[in-house]
Amino acid sequence: MAFWRSARKEMAELPAASPEEGPAADPTLGPILDLAAGILKDYGRMALDVEGLAAETLRSWCDHWAQHLLIGAPRPGDPPAPTPIERRDWSGARRFFSERRREEIAFVSRSLTTLQKAIWSFIQTLDGLLVVGDDSDQKLRTELNRLKTVAQGGSAELLRQEVVGTVEEIGRLAQARTRALRERVDGLAGQVRTLHGELEIARQESTTDGLTRVFNRKALDERIDQAASMGRLFGQVSSLLLLDVDHFKLINDTYGHVAGDAVLRELADGLVRAFPVKSELVARFGGEEFAVVLWDTPLAKARVAAERALNTLRSAKILHEGKLVPVTVSVGVAQLRPGEDARPWLERADRALYAAKHEGRNRIACEPG
């Protein structure tokens, strides 16, 4: 509100426009100007640092454009002079907004690609090192265990620092092996150093489901692959939950698709409340199905967590147009087996979900690990 009070004050200090030029000539014009300027102002307030443009600079540009549209203040770089409303640069404001968004999208896409390459290069390097196997493996495992701890709960910057340190140690160990292996590790170090502060931004922008705001299928597949790799490398036990809304087609047919979307959003919110730990990933698997990946969690504990989640969802009151929409959920649980890949693990969780449906729905079924 302070921005708008300041803007109105500046409007009063500008030379008076003729009646046909002012917003008062059309009572609907004021809210439209407020809306356009407000969008630019909010966009600037949430600006990101991208290549070649700092967030603070973008915020300043957005402020100038907002005042130009609202009160006729000069555009960024123009000499100070009031601008009548019919001469304000609406197309320029639109171009400014569109170009900035395209730059942000390209920045996030590049960051994500770099992250994916670094992760896969890291996994491939580890596989090569551990297959050879010698006295240096114990030293390597110590470094990797430190990295594992940071990866499960540390900040993006702390993760970057730990990854760089681990890669440098791998480089020293690899000198005793082969030149080809040393070149692979050095290349990995270069890729990891380019991540810097882009890790968290790229993850958030590219891994969220648009309807429910939980993680999407892409993020789920990556986390399942990571859990399987951790199982092979360190023997870490993880569990996977698959949840499906019972009779969801009937809900859509009875209450409409808007109500169906509301059900999915409410269930997603309930799952996020039931699994608040950062390492517990909640994702939309597809359609009316959700998934939860529980790191370092055996089947017995996963069953308890599934019961807790099911009770949370059962107590949810989902209303549509004042009417209570009855909703139940079936759950399948599977523990990762030693040396198991992601696909068979996911298939076993799906079989457990089918068993829960077959046994009467609104219940949990477990596939033994």
Please report where in the chains the tokens 């092996």 appear, as a residue.
177
**266 part of the active site:** no
Closest CA to 223 of 171, 260, 275: 275
Q: Which is catalytic among the residues 288, 289, 340, 367?
A: 288
Closest CA to 10 of 74, 85, 86: 74
At a CB cut-off of 8 Å and minimum separation 6, what does 2 contact? none
Q: Cα separation of 166 and 184, whole Å?
A: 14
Number of other CB atoms surrounding residue 99 within 10 Å: 10
Number of other CB atoms surrounding residue 283 within 10 Å: 27
Length of the chain: 369
Please report where in the chains the tokens 């409410």 appear, as a residue.
266
Amino acid (one-letter) located at 52: G
Closest CA to 288 of 263, 312, 308, 311: 263
**Exposed (0-12), middle (13-18) or buried (19+): which is 38, by Cβ within 10 Å?**
middle
Provide the β-strand partners of residue 323. 320
- Written as six digits, the tokens of 334 are 């599977």
CA 156 to chain CA centroid, Å, is 13
Query: Is the C-alpha dihedral spanning 199, 202, 206, 210 positive or negative?
Result: positive
Query: Is the C-alpha dihedral spanning 210, 273, 257, 218 positive or negative?
Result: positive
DSSP string for residues in 265-295:
HHHHHHHHHH--STTEEEEEEETTEEEEEET
Q: Is 339 left (phi over 0), alpha (psi -120 to 50) or beta?
A: left
Q: Which residues are catalytic?
A: 288
